[in-house]
Structure 1
Amino acid sequence: MSNLHNENLADTRNRLLNEISLLGYEEFNKSTDTNTWSIAQVSHHLVLTEKAFTRAIEYGLKQVPNNQVRKISLHHAMDRTKKIEAPEMVKPNLEPIDVLQVIDLLNDSRNYLLTVLKTVKDMSILEERSVVHPVFGEMPLDQWVELIYLHEQRHIDQIKEIKFLLGIST
């Protein structure tokens, strides 16, 4: 994994933690309406997604190299004007949760990702192996890593929007 990926993963996670760490229980779990997620649910979705992506990367590392796989454009992953329905496996729990519990879950999911990536001796293998993403199709593993922080950035913007709509100024 490149240093850029490492930096982007760390920087994005720090931005997320800065957005949520000072929220009270009520603020964290309040939704703007019945059809939208709370900040807690968005954060839990990020945990579930990172774990699912890590499992996909782990699976992909066991596959044979695929010289036919092409990088795809991920710019649309950041376009919040296009709603993407979350697959069932990464939909958040509807029960309220404490900020510190979510932070622990975020730390656990990141440690899982980094543990899997540490098993890779030659990072170029991430470009040679691929797994099918449920929304974007066949993707090389290095783009799965990239999508983790792009997805997190997308949801940081959503969290900022929820905070604004709820009148939260932390």
Structure 2
Amino acid sequence: MNQIIHGNLVETRKQLVNEITSLSFEELNTALGSDTWSVAQVCHHLYLAEKSFVHGINYALKQKDNPKVGRQPLDRISDRSQKIDAPPFVIPSEEPFEIHHIHNMLKESRTMLLNVLNKIEDDSILREKSAKHPLFGVLPLIQWIELIYLHEQRHIEQINEIKSQIS
């Protein structure tokens, strides 16, 4: 896999873990309102999203008739002024989470991703194969991978906003 993309995945995850590790149970699980998520819920959403990305990538890799498409704009993911509604399958639980459980979930989903990516012998397949993303339409698989860390970066900003309001 491209070293820059791999580095972005690693660095973004490291930043996410650093942002949440020192939070108390209450800080992790405090939602600022009935229509907002807690830090723990944001992390659960990231776990669910990464797992769904893995399934999408894996599915596309197995397809024979998979159209090659060009890169699509992903700017919307970084614009926190634009609310993006999460698809139902990545909406987090309302149950509280312990920090060790969050760490384990994030480790599990990242391991799943790396297991799929490490089986790819030729990275060019990530530019040749595509799949329909629920928010961005048909994307080359390389952009699915880029979306993982861009999505985490978006939610790290959200976590920082939550932390500043509950402190």
Distance change in 2, residues 1:68/1:110 (3 Å): closer
Describe the SS at the equivalent of 2:139.
strand
1:76 CA drift (Å):
1.4
How well do the aligned residues superpose, as a CA RMSD in angstroms?
1.0
Aligned to 2:52: 52
Aligned to 2:127: 127
In 2, Cα distance between equivalents of 1:25 and 1:134: 32
Aligned to 2:12: 12
1:73 CA drift (Å):
1.0
In 1, Cα distance between equivalents of 2:60 and 2:35: 35
Aligned to 2:69: 69
Aligned to 1:163: 163
Distance change in 2, residues 1:94/1:127 (3 Å): same
Aligned to 1:137: 137
In 2, Cα distance between equivalents of 1:67 and 1:85: 27
- Structure 1: gaps (5+ residues): none
User: Are 1:39 and 1:162, in contact at CA under 8 Å, matched by a contact in 2?
Assistant: yes
1:89 CA drift (Å):
0.4
Describe the SS at the equivalent of 2:94.
coil
In 2, Cα distance between equivalents of 1:56 and 1:39: 26
Distance change in 2, residues 1:52/1:38 (3 Å): same
Aligned to 1:112: 112
Aligned to 2:92: 92
In 1, Cα distance between equivalents of 2:22 and 2:100: 10
Describe the SS at the equivalent of 1:131.
strand
Opposite residue 99 of structure 1, the aligned amino acid is: I
User: Are 1:40 and 1:96, in contact at CA under 8 Å, matched by a contact in 2?
Assistant: yes
In 1, Cα distance between equivalents of 2:11 and 2:39: 19
In 2, Cα distance between equivalents of 1:141 and 1:8: 16
User: Are 1:64 and 1:129, in contact at CA under 8 Å, matched by a contact in 2?
Assistant: no
User: Are 2:39 and 2:159, in contact at CA under 8 Å, matched by a contact in 1?
Assistant: yes
1:11 CA drift (Å):
0.1
- Structure 2: gaps (5+ residues): none
1:65 CA drift (Å):
5.9
In 1, Cα distance between equivalents of 2:15 and 2:97: 20
In 2, Cα distance between equivalents of 1:26 and 1:66: 46
User: Are 2:69 and 2:128, in contact at CA under 8 Å, matched by a contact in 1?
Assistant: yes
